[in-house]
Chain A
Amino acid sequence: MSDPARPTSTAAETPRKSASTEAVVPRPSTENVHRRRRAHRKHRGVGMIWSALAWIVGLGFFFPVLWMVLTAFKHEREAYTDPPTLLFTPTLDQFQAVLGSGMGLTLLNSAFATAVSTACVLALGIPAAFALSLRPVKRTQDVLFFFISTKMLPIVAVIIPLYVIVNEIGMLDNIWALIVLYTAMNLPIAIWMMRSFFLEVPPELLEAASMDGASLATAVRRVILPLVSPGIAATALICVIFSWNEFFFAVNLTAVRAQTAPVSLVGFITGEGLFWARLSAASTLAALPVVIAGWIAQNKLVRGLSFGAIK
């Protein structure tokens, strides 16, 4: 059964649907019922295989992450074994060691840069998205394409002058330099994404509110924002993911004081030899916040990643 169309064609027949068609057909002949049942059973068997395969694939993708988390709870000697150790007594030693060696500060830096830049993105992006959707400016299309084209600008093309400028103004190793850059990095995505949420609001709502005597600001606050707040939350989560994971700016523009969590991982490979368990603990700590943010935002992830093009 290597028939790739199976899943799509079966998806159309949700159980509820087939039940309702049966209800419409008045009293089928017994023979028909039998045939249908048999077909149903065969269907179920094939379906189980596909479901099992889906689970295997899912676990396969997840396994490296799981392994990382497991390793984080091992003693160093259990991390290097051939064959790999599956059963072990978990320990929190590695986490203690990692946090003791100063990773706490980098986590705080990451959290600060992420939170503040995301807040800035929303502060700049919500009005902009509004001006590109519900109350569109002239040449909306051009502005939108300007924003998206900045995402096509490979970061590497601007890193040199940024380094020079940041250095000149004495902002090297300063978290605020990262905040500014992360805001610029996420703003286009956020504007496109939030715009797609704003476009789902019927424009008559604004008109109705203005006829009801609300000023534009009130109408936006009382009518529009409550409607788009789930979208804004999803946008914020996506900005969180991108800025937390950012590495290139961070590695070039920070050193000690403003180092972020991903950069701190570099320290674990440059020492003499690798400490896998400790590295895994550090990686787990660095990855955990965004993995959770992404899990929460997963239904809106596509929209953010596709600049709102795909709902």
Chain B
Amino acid sequence: MTKQSTISRAEGWRRRGPLLPALIFTIVVTQVPFAFTLYYSTQSWNLVRPGSREFIGLRNYLYVFRDSQFREVALNTVILIAGTVLISAVLGLAVALLLNRTFRGRGVVRTLVITPFLITPVAGALLWKTAMFDPVFGLVNFVLQPLGLGDVEWVSQFPLASVMANLIWRWTPFMMLLILAGLQSMPTDVLEAGRVDGAGPITLFRELTLPHLRRFIELGVVLGAIYLINTFGAVYMMTQGGPGVESANLPFYIYQRAFLGFDIGQAAAMGVITVVATILISTLALRLLFKTFTATREAA
């Protein structure tokens, strides 16, 4: 017995070996800094006042929750993520349906559609700020001119919406790709069976296609939200969070507080809050979703 169990322990390490470098590296680079963030969040520490550093327990969190700007920014973040994700999902579904047919040049059209997702985010943001949204020379106002809407100052009048427009342009292709994959994984015999059973196209879509797509859309929404929580370049380039904090999201606001306001303690506390909120929401959703998607081979 002992002989065998030592063998399987050796085998265990042989299996673990290849994993360890990646695991250790990831822990060191992601978890250790986060532990520091936790620590900093208990400090009163402003770089502008050297030597002022001291332990203040959870008071930073109190300040943060009392900070009305923080609340506004948190709300902005939720609006930005939820709005972008939902609108992108709807648009993505529509585009995916268009692209799920065979037609001449389908590959080219798909390539065109995904380009906004690939382009460097800051370049895309600049493009929208200038070429699209410029009040005088922008294309949006040029197109809207015949409708009598030609002189809106998009970025300064609707900063959050402008950022969101840029993000939707960027994330619709992402949703489209996921949903298109869902459409293409739809077994055709099911649709055929439905048609034989006398269902019309709308019924087929509602009763068969949409339920099949649901998991894909859900995955798109959750993943999209996880990626979008890190949105920074678009805000930085288009509005700098302004006016005031009207268009700032959490990453930008924390960046401002840390690198422009030098308030390390409070910025760290905000970071912790962001993480807790993100992890709470996404762990649950992701665990559920990945169960339905991935089959796993566990250790024998």
- CB pair B297–A241 under 8 Å, yes or no, is no
Write out the residue numbers on chain B whose beta carbons fall within 8 Å of the beta carbon of A158. Answer: 30, 33-34, 37, 271
A12 CA / B122 CA spacing, docked (Å) = 40
Cβ-neighbour of A138 out of B33, B122, B299 (below 8 A): B299
Q: Considering the chains assembled together, what is the distance between the CA atoms of A160 and B186 in angstroms?
A: 46
Q: What 1/0 mask marks residues of chain B from 262 to 298 whose CB sits below 8 Å from any chain A CB?
A: 0010011001101100110011001101100111111
Q: Give the docked Cα–Cα distance between A137 and B17 (Å).
A: 9
**A141 touches which of B99, B142, B286, B296 (Cβ 8 Å):** B296
Q: Are B123 and A47 in contact (CB under 8 A)?
A: no
Instruction: Give chain B residues whose Cβ lies under 8 Å from the Cβ of A4.
Output: 94, 97, 202, 205
Q: Are A127 and B22 in contact (CB under 8 A)?
A: yes
Distance from B297 Cβ to chain A, minimum over Cβ atoms (Å): 5
Within 8 A of B (CB), among A58-76: 58-59, 61-62, 64-65, 67-68, 71
Digitize B197-217: 1 where CB-to-A-CB distance is under 8 Å, 0 elsewhere: 000111011100100000010
Q: Is A276 an interface residue (CB 8 A)?
A: yes
Q: Mark B1-37, 1 if CB is under 8 A from A, else 0.
A: 0000000000010011111011101100111011011
Chain A residues within an 8 Å CB radius of B127: 64-65, 67-68, 280, 283
Q: Which residues of A contact B56 (CB under 8 A)?
A: none
Beta-carbon contact of A124 and B230 below 8 Å: no
Report the interface size class on chain A: 35 or more
Is B154 interfacial (CB-CB < 8 Å)? no
B230, A291: Cβ atoms closer than 8 Å: no
Q: Is the CB of B15 within 8 A of A274?
A: no
Which B residue's beta carbon lies closest to that of A249?
B232
The chain B residue with its CB closest to the CB of A248 is B232
Could you say which residues of chain A place their CB within 8 Å of the CB of B164?
none
Question: In the bound complex, what is the Cα–Cα distance between A130 and B16 (angstroms)?
Answer: 10
Q: Which A positions have Cβ atoms within 8 angstroms of B? A: 3-12, 14, 47, 50-51, 53-55, 57-59, 61-62, 64-65, 67-68, 71, 79-84, 124-125, 127-128, 130-141, 143-165, 180-181, 183-184, 187-188, 191, 196, 199, 203, 241, 244-245, 247-248, 251-252, 261-263, 265-266, 268-269, 274, 276, 279-280, 283-284, 286-287, 290-291, 293-295, 298, 301-302, 305-311
